[in-house]
Amino acid sequence: MEFTELVDEIVARVMSRMTEQASTAPSGKPKLLVLTPEHGTLCHEALEHEALLEYYDTECALLQEYHCSIDDYEAVLVYGLDVPSLCQLADGDCHTPFTQLAQKAMLSGKRLFVAQETVELFQFAATAPAAYYAMLLQKLSFLQQCGVTLCPHGQLAAAVLSEEIPTPEAPAAPCPPTPAAGREVLLEKRVISERDLRDAVGRDVRAVRVTKRAIVTELAKEYLQARNIALLREEAAGEQP
């Protein structure tokens, strides 16, 4: 089945279920809002999650064209948090229906849960300049400090129902570089810059080895730290450890 056909089927099924719900008497259950900028399989799974449906009436903000009253909902599941939306929320300057609803939920004290797999920032961990990536990561951390819960899609239902905040998985937060399985790169230059690393480091590199007296710039160190790549030094020729 083509992706567009799959999305069309998802939308049709969700709209059908919403129509059925609208034609029946209120269930008395609290409401859960699924907030997303576009339809996808993950948000569809949340809308039809059996455990969530036992406790909540789940609704899709996109199918309602974002004409939702946040006061009606107990919690909000967020999918598709791209970089512009992340910046809008963190800076408090929200000018899209998607971010405005998320902001309203935060201001209203609602519980927000963000699916980690749909945070666009993480896609650029291996390519973005280290300092720029770290700055954007700080914005995400700021939202977490404000009460936003970041966790894998598979754990969202349990987090919502148990009200326990799971520990975010990497790369949600910076972690110190440690050697891991993968290729090692040797750089023998006297001064190692971020540009040198960008030219030399591939996706399978887990360690960069330099000479004992090599100078590694701060930006280069940040580049390695953001990508969890170890920095190793070797002894100079003819010199004892």
Q: Are 137 and 119 in contact (CB under 8 A)?
A: no
Kindly state whether residues 30 and 67 are assigned to the same domain.
Answer: yes
Q: Which of 117-121, 143-147, 192-196 has the lowest mean pLDDT?
A: 192-196
* Residue 129 and residue 27 in one domain: yes
- Residue 87's pLDDT is 96
**Of 131, 162, 193, the domain-final residue:** 162
pLDDT average, residue stretch 117-121: 92
Which pLDDT band holds residue 18 (cuts at 50, 70, 90)?
Answer: low
In a domain, 241, yes or no: no
Q: Where are the beta strands (DSSP E) in the chain?
A: 31-35, 57-60, 73-78, 111-115, 149-151, 183-187, 191-192, 205-211, 215-216, 230-234
Q: Check whether residue 10 and residue 64 sit in a common domain.
A: yes
Domain that holds residue 28: 3-162
Distance of CA 134 to the CA centre of its chain: 14
15 versus 102: the higher-pLDDT residue is: 102
HSE, CB side, 13 Å, CA atoms: give it for residue 146.
Answer: 21
Structural domains counted in the chain:
2
pLDDT value for 180: 44
Question: Tokens representing 158?
Answer: 């349990």
Which pLDDT value is given to residue 27? 61
pLDDT tens sequence across 100-111? 999 999 999 999
Of 96, 43, 89, 41, the closest CA to residue 65 belongs to 96
Q: Judge whether 61 lies within some domain.
A: yes
Q: Output the pLDDT for position 10.
A: 67
